[in-house]
Structure 1
Amino acid sequence: MSRAFVNEDNQEEAPLIPPRAPLPNGAINYVTPFGLQQLKTEKAKLQEEMDSFPGDDDKAKRFSKQLIKGKLSLLDERIQSARLLSLSSEEKNEVRFGAIVTLKFEGENSSQTFQIVGVDEANVKEAKIAFTSPIARLLSGKKVGEQATLDLGNKTRKMSIIKISFD
């Protein structure tokens, strides 16, 4: 067909759906109870936003609805693949998924505390790191008093585990 017969006003560009937090191939999508609730709350908000659109008569509304549908699709996949881990069943004396870990880095007077969580719940500002992160993998299985060395390419940082809890 000749381009002369194409109505360009009817050609809408598909929205670019931002990807969710990466989960390595083959990795199980572990989530904390709080993380699973966050996913469900996000889904409810997106569904509410979708339902608030009165109709598909406007190009901008159609685009927005497509964007929300795409986000819902990715979110549904993540919720379906979620594997909830009960933090109460974990060994309390080892660093595991869900643990709140306090570390002291060699040569520093202060300590750092963070929780190991699922990839969707991870948030550096809230001191929550993904179980897939290098530091979480390095510390997994270690106990209070044990040390670990984090390789940062051109330098290393030694750390000691001061406290482990599962609050």
Structure 2
Amino acid sequence: MSRAPITKEGSERLRAELDRLKFVDRPRIIAAIAEARAHGDLKENAEYHAARDQQSFAEGRIAELEGALSTAEVIDVSRLNPGNRVVFGAIVDLQDEDTGVAVTYQIVGDLEADIKRQLIAVSSPIARALIGKSSGDSFEFTAPNGVKHYEITGVRYS
């Protein structure tokens, strides 16, 4: 069984989410279920059903996080020294060769990927195209909306 890589920061973020779910959300949801139960007839009790749905989601997420974190391999990116080559954990500055738009991404584990925070999964097409390249290299990859051409303008690790 291979261990999924995760950054130290990502591991800390996911552990904080796990703690919040277990020690803040779970007790709040249990209290909401108890209060809704006290209202009587559970068949037509929307508050009860909503609280049960929240409980189901929270328990599922807790199980998912516990399972993933127990098998993940935490990689401290600050201890890596690959020079200007792109490896797991790299923060990469890119420039779209077609539009000139500059973007910055960090390559992280699948579980911690969040495009809104510019964290891309190591298994994504763009990350797979970046791995092994160096600052100044140009590359292309196939995105869902066609082939994209980028130049790597910077590689750093924090």
Instruction: Give deviations 1:78-102, integer Å, cap 9, x for gaps.
Output: 1101111111232132111111101
CA distance in 2, matches of 1:40, 1:116: 19
* Aligned CA distance change for structure 1 residues 110 and 56 (closer, same or farther; 3 Å): closer
Task: Determine if the alignment matches structure 1 residue 31 to structure 2 residue 20.
Answer: no
Q: Is residue 125–residue 142 contact of structure 2 (8 Å, CA) maintained in 1?
A: no
CA distance in 2, matches of 1:154, 1:40: 35
Relative to the length of structure 2, the TM-score reads 0.77
Q: Is residue 97–residue 116 contact of structure 1 (8 Å, CA) maintained in 2?
A: yes
Which deviates further from its counterpart, 106-115 or 149-158?
149-158
Q: Report SS of the residue matched to 1:51.
A: helix
Q: Is residue 125–residue 143 contact of structure 2 (8 Å, CA) maintained in 1?
A: no
Task: Determine if the alignment matches structure 1 residue 83 to structure 2 residue 73.
Answer: yes
Shift of 1:154: 7.7
Q: Which position in structure 2 is the counterpart of 1:51?
A: 27
Q: Which position in structure 2 is the counterpart of 1:98?
A: 89
Q: Is residue 92–residue 166 contact of structure 1 (8 Å, CA) maintained in 2?
A: no
Q: Which has the higher helix share?
A: 2
* Aligned CA distance change for structure 1 residues 139 and 51 (closer, same or farther; 3 Å): same
Q: Is residue 7–residue 109 contact of structure 2 (8 Å, CA) maintained in 1?
A: yes
The structure number with the bigger radius of gyration is 1
CA distance in 1, matches of 2:64, 2:108: 19
Shift of 1:55: 8.7
| Identical columns (%) | 28
Count residues with an aligned counterpart. 142
Amino acid of the residue matched to residue 59 of structure 2? K
Q: Which position in structure 2 is the counterpart of 1:144?
A: 135
CA distance in 2, matches of 1:120, 1:129: 10
Amino acid of the residue matched to residue 156 of structure 1? V
Q: Is residue 101–residue 161 contact of structure 1 (8 Å, CA) maintained in 2?
A: yes
Shift of 1:152: 3.9
Which deviates further from its counterpart, 112-121 or 127-136?
112-121
Instruction: Could you tell me which runs of 5 or more consecutive residues in structure 1 were left unpaired when the two chains were aligned.
Output: 1-25
